[in-house]
């Protein structure tokens, strides 16, 4: 019996990293590279892969998404037909390192409460295949403003205390700790988003 108890102690932390739905998200997790058409596709870590998309250029290029998302739409085959998708309608994408919501919001914290920053967007990519030495892409500058995406509902909104606190209230104990905590509001909110996600882990299938 003592041996069984020791084995349980050893394996329970490892087991907590997995569920029937996938692997517990940590900063080491890498999302599959591609375009996520919907919130459900992102949760399933099931994007349209670059090699599936009918487009000019090398799908393995680090500039592939800049080129693709500068266009109005893209297409790919599925179930014996060609599917057309407007780039403004995508949920987001992963370039293999960072994950983005739509085209211009980069995930900074991922979990049940996601924190995102508005970043630059490439408006046009004149020559993807032969850009030349003098090539420069036109960009729409990001504001750096922070936003929140609720994993549970898909709601997306500016990161303002009142709205984020409403999410913290799902965990009454954490919410009480948040109200008692000192410090600058912005840093406090970000720290408690991380704490909320730690207490309420999110699981994603491996890509």
Nearest to 110 by CA among 143, 144, 150, 146: 150
pTM score, two decimals? 0.82
* Per-residue pLDDT tens over the stretch 52-108: 999 887 899 888 898 898 889 999 999 999 999 999 999 999 999 999 999 999 999
pLDDT at 191: 97
Domain ranges of the chain: 21-159
Nearest residue to 114 via CA among 200, 173, 206, 205: 200
* CA-closest candidate to residue 151, choices 115, 121, 183, 185: 115
Residue 13, both tokens: 């932390």
The Cα diameter of the chain in Å comes to 72
Residue, of 98 and 132, whose pLDDT is higher: 98
Confidence (pLDDT) at 42: 97
């Amino acid at each position: 019996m003592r041996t069984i108890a020791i084995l349980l102690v050893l394996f329970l932390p490892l087991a907590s990293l997995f569920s029937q739905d996938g692997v517990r998200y940590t900063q080491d997790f890498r999302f599959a590279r591609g375009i996520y058409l919907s919130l459900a596709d992102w949760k399933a870590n099931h994007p349209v892969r670059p090699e599936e998309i009918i487009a000019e250029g090398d799908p393995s290029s680090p500039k592939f998404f800049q080129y693709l998302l500068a266009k109005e739409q893209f297409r790919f085959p599925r179930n014996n037909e060609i599917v057309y998708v407007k780039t403004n309608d995508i949920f987001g994408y992963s370039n293999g390192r960072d994950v983005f919501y739509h085209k211009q919001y980069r995930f900074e914290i991922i979990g049940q409460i996601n924190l995102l920053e508005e970043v630059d967007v490439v408006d046009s990519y004149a020559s993807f295949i032969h850009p030349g030495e003098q090539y420069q892409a036109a960009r729409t500058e990001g504001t750096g403003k922070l936003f929140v995406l609720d994993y549970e509902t898909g709601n997306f909104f500016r990161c303002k205390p009142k709205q984020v606190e409403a999410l913290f209230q799902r965990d009454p104990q954490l919410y009480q700790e948040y109200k008692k905590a000192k410090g600058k509001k912005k840093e406090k909110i970000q720290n408690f988003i991380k704490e909320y996600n730690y207490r309420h882990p999110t699981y994603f299938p491996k890509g």
